[in-house]
Structure 1
Amino acid sequence: MRKGFLTLATVGVLAAGGTAACGPGSAEAGGGDRKPKIGVILPDSRTSARWEGADRRYLEAAFRAAGVDYTIQNAQGDKSSFSTIADGMLTAGVTALMIVNLDSGTGRAVLDRARSQGVATIDYDRLTLGGSAEYYVSFDNKAVGRLQGEGLSRCLADQGAEHPVVAFLNGSPTDNNATELKAGYNSVLGPKFTSGTYVRGPDQPVPDWDNAQAGVLFEQMLTRTEGRIDGVLAANDGLGNAAISVLKKNKLNGKVPVTGQDADVQGLRNILAGDQCMTVYKAIRKEADAAAALAVSLANGVRRDTGQTVRDPESGRDVPAVLLEPKAIYQENVKDVVADGYVSRDRLCTDPYAELCAAAGIS
């Protein structure tokens, strides 16, 4: 990965102009005179509230502001539906296609079909391994993982546990983001296991980021260790909430630090209540705006220079990329997520969280 993050000023340049070249949808590239139209395929609405609650909203706003024709559909976790939606969009004449893959195999097939028809492509949030997307727009997932590892270390220190046992609820094994997250938090926690400061406990991926499966897996972990789990590295807020639900049943919530990611409403409420140690906030609006700016350019047959690349570990290809910076959220700065407009106070601070919000300075 080329060093440094794409600045927001550069994202603005992507929207307004900047270095350009003909893309596959342009007349010069053989795309003809097709009317610019953008297709977006979201993955599901079950594993994380962000896809429908944030990404769709911000992408729609960005496309409307650009005055471009678009369609956004959700595959609801179904690979067959994902492929069918893509075929429908290609038949309908999209000139740029943005996907959040369900797995690299399905995503790769869709990207290849789009490319064969001269349709420009973007991997949004998840890199399709071995794929042919022209751009990748996401947050630095290794940085997200490092923040999670640092957060869990901070919260374990606050608990004062000696040689704490740390359990892992990792993301889906078919999602490259989960691989990068794990590399990030292992870079922080690995040395602590090696030195004997921490004890490595159960460590399992959660297929398809499924929260229900996460709850079952964590209950089994707790049983297997006879209740001796002192910290939980959960890869996102949904998995974290699944672990917290099990901890509540065993009257251990608040005593065992749990991490998360996405800063969704439930995760933030868990933090305010003291049941979750921290989460990682990714300003989805900035991600959506950057991706929309690239998609609008590509839909019009114009490529932009992002100044960054990521290496596809499967193909070895350097993919032009936009990587944004994540932010760690603890109880004392939950208010920052509200101030940024990602979550509204009215939605977050309903009873019984109103007093907790006031105590955290959320007004």
Structure 2
Amino acid sequence: MSTRARQVSAALAAGLMTMSAACGARDDTGGDSFTVGLLLPSRAVPRWEHSDRPLIEKRLKELCPDCSLEYANAENDAARQQQQMMSMIANGVRVMILDAADTKALRSSIQEAREAGVPVIAYDRLAEGPISGYVSFDGAEVGRLQGEALLKAMGPEAEKDYVVMLNGDPTSPNAAWYRSGALSVLKGRAKIGKSYEIRGWSTDNAHANMSAAISALGPDRIGGVLAANDAIAAGAVSAFKSAGVRELPPVTGQDADLEAVQRIVTGEQYMTVYKPFRSEAAAAVAMAVALGRGEDVGDIAETATDSPTTKRVPSVLLTPEAVTVGNIEPTLVKDGVFTVDQICTPDIRSACDRAGLP
């Protein structure tokens, strides 16, 4: 983990220790019991169900044992998520953690939550409307890490071959943030052959767009793929395989999905961006518990962010980290994201041996 990430984690841990003490004091009186609503955007990206949800559930029980969690997944449908928010308000949740399926479309629902006295914390994506807190990662840094890794992997070929950009869903402000960060590195140093927006961060849509780029540019002229996340990277890899390409160009990713890590081990994907989900979940729960008690989040938020509608939103922005085959063990394994046994299934055991994963 980077020095900056450790500093943020240490500061966050100190704030959480204070909150844990307060939680214990309230629990002794039996007066600390409320429901937190958690709304996640889809199942297309594995991290939501496999990492974020269980981490948030676990941390909520640690910080506030008598609190409960009401959960809903929007399945990439903003209208469904609006209905889920209204249902949670009707059910009496005291605070919501929201990863918006569409950050603009949920604006009116966030306003309704505010009018009902239910504060909303924007999780991972900066939703519009009167949100009370925001927890995410530095998206520009995510893009920069991807761009820098891609240039390093391409080497001198970066000046000759094309880069194909498979960007995220245009309804997510993070997608533009990642793209901007990547272009800050790639512009003037690589030729962008094709650039696509991948609706729903979908592997299938990424496959279709990558196939179109291969047909238009020719597989031999594509020197690298800037894939915004690991689901998109999976689509890019499958498109090259379908086109009969045996030597894949370097492909980036994000989220450190297990299958992506395995692709990195076997050489099908060059890198991913690891975002310590445990720290993100902990910060969101800390904010939720504080707001649920009517307390200020100033001790938790290290900075403030302006959204298109709301100024100075109390925010925690964590530091991402690039992961390639050479640092899987000191990042993902060390942090307990995956064990070596989870990564190194029998069919890739020899590749793990070459990668130095014991």
TM-score computed with the length of structure 1 as normaliser: 0.88
CA shift in 2, pair 1:185/1:301, >3 Å:
same
Paired residues in the alignment total: 337
Query: Gapped runs of 5+ residues in structure 1?
Result: 19-32, 193-197
The equivalent residue for 1:300 is 293
The equivalent residue for 2:336 is 341
Tell me, yes or no, if structure 1 residue 59 matches structure 2 residue 56. yes
The equivalent residue for 2:114 is 115
Query: Gapped runs of 5+ residues in structure 2?
Result: 20-30
Structure 1 CA distance for aligned equivalents of residues 223 and 317 of structure 2: 33
Cα RMSD for the two superposed structures = 1.9
Tell me, yes or no, if structure 1 residue 168 matches structure 2 residue 161. no
TM-score computed with the length of structure 2 as normaliser: 0.89
Listed one character per residue, the Cα deviations across residues 235-288 of structure 1 (whole Å, up to 9, x for unaligned) are 001101100011112333543111000110111111111111111001111100
Tell me, yes or no, if structure 1 residue 208 matches structure 2 residue 200. yes
The equivalent residue for 2:230 is 237
Question: How do residues 1-363 of structure 1 correspond to structure 2 at under 5 angstroms?
Answer: 7-17=8-18, 35-46=33-44, 48-66=45-63, 67=65, 68-129=67-128, 131-157=129-155, 160=157, 162-192=159-189, 198-227=190-219, 228-305=221-298, 306-312=301-307, 314-315=308-309, 317-335=311-329, 336-363=331-358
Answer yes or no: is the 8 Å Cα contact 1:43–1:74 preserved in 2.
yes
The equivalent residue for 1:23 is none
Structure 1 CA distance for aligned equivalents of residues 159 and 132 of structure 2: 48
Answer yes or no: is the 8 Å Cα contact 1:59–1:288 preserved in 2.
yes
Instruction: State the 1:162 CA deviation.
Output: 4.8
Secondary structure of the residue that 1:106 maps to in structure 2? coil
Structure 1 CA distance for aligned equivalents of residues 107 and 33 of structure 2: 25
Structure 2 CA distance for aligned equivalents of residues 161 and 74 of structure 1: 40
Answer yes or no: is the 8 Å Cα contact 1:40–1:98 preserved in 2.
yes
Instruction: State the 1:161 CA deviation.
Output: 5.7
The equivalent residue for 1:29 is none
Structure 2 CA distance for aligned equivalents of residues 251 and 239 of structure 1: 19
Higher helix share: 2
Secondary structure of the residue that 2:347 maps to in structure 1? coil
Listed one character per residue, the Cα deviations across residues 281-302 of structure 1 (whole Å, up to 9, x for unaligned) are 0111110011111111111111
Q: Which moved more, 1:347-356 or 1:95-104?
A: 347-356
Answer yes or no: is the 8 Å Cα contact 2:78–2:106 preserved in 1.
no
Listed one character per residue, the Cα deviations across residues 307-336 of structure 1 (whole Å, up to 9, x for unaligned) are 301222x23622211001101001111222
Structure 1 CA distance for aligned equivalents of residues 148 and 76 of structure 2: 31
Answer yes or no: is the 8 Å Cα contact 1:262–1:279 preserved in 2.
yes
User: Could you say which structure has the greater relative contact order, defined with CA pairs below 8 angstroms and 6 or more residues apart?
Assistant: 1
Q: Which moved more, 1:74-83 or 1:227-236?
A: 74-83
CA shift in 2, pair 1:291/1:113, >3 Å:
same
Identical aligned residues as a percent: 34
Answer yes or no: is the 8 Å Cα contact 1:139–1:323 preserved in 2.
yes
Structure 1 CA distance for aligned equivalents of residues 186 and 256 of structure 2: 22
Structure 2 CA distance for aligned equivalents of residues 351 and 35 of structure 1: 47
Q: Give 4+ residue runs of structure 1 displaced > 6 Å after superposition.
A: none
CA shift in 2, pair 1:279/1:254, >3 Å:
farther
